[in-house]
Amino acid sequence: MTLTKHDLVTRISSETGLEREQVAAVIQKMLDHITEALGNGDKVELRNFGVFEVRIRKGRIGRNPTVPEVDVPIPERAIVKFKMGKKMSELVLKLTPKLSQPPTSSG
């Protein structure tokens, strides 16, 4: 399942009694400010949610799958790294499949 911005607006509006247009405007402003801060190279920290940070990914040599003998240089570039907050991490870790028991040797 995918949670969309529309879904968030609908849920928050029904839970708070605020108009959908107001909720949508607040969510969009929040996203705009986060995007602007990251675009300026700033770190965005949302307690109990996570931290967004701009990092530089090193350049590397890639391969074209259709022509694997040809090297393709991939230049370094800025990316956004996200580190989950404690509460989110705890919830997401619950989705980890249980490791099956290693086979026992008989004999």
Q: Which fold has domain 43-89?
A: HU Protein; Chain A (4.10.520)
pLDDT at 74: 94
Mean pLDDT over residues 73-90, rounded?
Answer: 95
Torsion of CA 6, 55, 41, 29, to 10 degrees: 10
Give the model confidence (pLDDT) of 10-46 as tens digits: 999 999 999 999 999 999 999 999 999 999 999 999 9
Residue 34: the pLDDT is 98
The segment(s) of the chain belonging to CATH 4.10.520.10 are 43-89
Q: Could you give the C-alpha distances from 9 to 17, 24, 28, in angstroms and in order?
A: 11, 6, 10
Chain centroid, CA 55 distance in Å: 14
Distance separating alpha carbons of residues 76 and 103, to the nearest angstrom: 44
Mean pLDDT of 64-80: 92
What confidence score (pLDDT) does residue 64 get? 85
Q: What is the pLDDT at residue 100?
A: 54
